[in-house]
Chain A
């Protein structure tokens, strides 16, 4: 019994240690990212590769816009149905639009869009950089005197940081639209009334905190996916493993940081 317990504690300890090492390396990459994005250009070094940044933006938009629409529309629709189910008990089905729009912009829009991006874009970044690492392309960059962080990491993180808030804003809108469709067709609500409810309940803070959250998620996805890509070892198998880890870790990071952000917003901007 004691042996088992001590074995358990050792395992927990070792995993904690590994996690701390991982977090340490990740924050090291974050430091490099900040240096190459802000400090290096001031020191006269080439920071962001603009061409590559634009390429990444287009790629990310193309890859994900359709899925984001599909997923947020579904979430909006589901939200409307679930809200109506509860509100009916109080005879308040009328307020479905308000509930959908507020929860969509404050919470579900950012989080659902970010998870889609983590799966779609984050995974492809890890796979791409990981493959480059395995095929010595990252080493080739280094020996050419081109540091991999500004060349590979910076354009990707910045592209996600711009693209994800934009997609979130679109996702909010589509989600509200999804709820609206259910509201007027499935719940028999009046179209004008529904829309008025929707936009009367919304205040700018709802939208802005949601967008701010998505920006935080974007930086996390970018850092995790590029970090996982750069730390790939062990051939094609390693790339596969890193890609899975990247998505899982990103989703965990999104949810945990969402909790922190929501807490912060709740107490700081009541």
Chain B
């Protein structure tokens, strides 16, 4: 009798479990998540086939150009974007700024990006993401960094790349590094795993899991410098689960066309004929800056550890 009453009231229902948090990014796989700065751009992104939007006040290219401290967006902007679209809405908080994260959670965003694109609030500690009901995505340059974030409760990973440059070289470097390290891990004898965990500064339990399954325990996207359909397909062929496009779309000549093209390229990443077709007449890509031309101080990927 007791069980029946319970079931009628759905009292065995649980929100915010690790399974539920990891599942949202699973639904976004083979999709494109686009940076948008207002409701109008969000609608264009949704109509072009984006699986989610990242609500920001400035895209990374403008954050670079403007300088100064970059913080969480005005909640008013996030609310407007949430009202404009039916797809998931993500937003960024500064590394370590758990109060910005609490605010975003209360606004009902679907996922929080603890992002190196904003100015870090804490140079030593990242957010304890396991405390939150909604999933976090975090950037990483290598496997150790990815597994530390997962250890803190991140439900999704992405490469850091070098945001706001339009130069894909760092996203490729980080994707190759992470996926290469995973492949290596699967062939190491078990007695070497503890030392490996110590050397890369990663939680041992998660190292064991990755060694056994040959993949991260969460969805892994590429981000940082993707500007063309070919860039998106390149990262997909390297083995990521989907892509973030930041400045690449709305800093280009024809955002709508480019957005649609990148969506198609992410699905048909293995089909050069489709890639050729969607790459035609896209107009000007974002101007971009080569990563090599950046001063050490200008690189964002080194933020966080």
Chain A complexes with chain B? no
Interfacial residues, chain A to chain B (CB-CB below 8 A): none
B: residues with CB less than 8 A from A are none
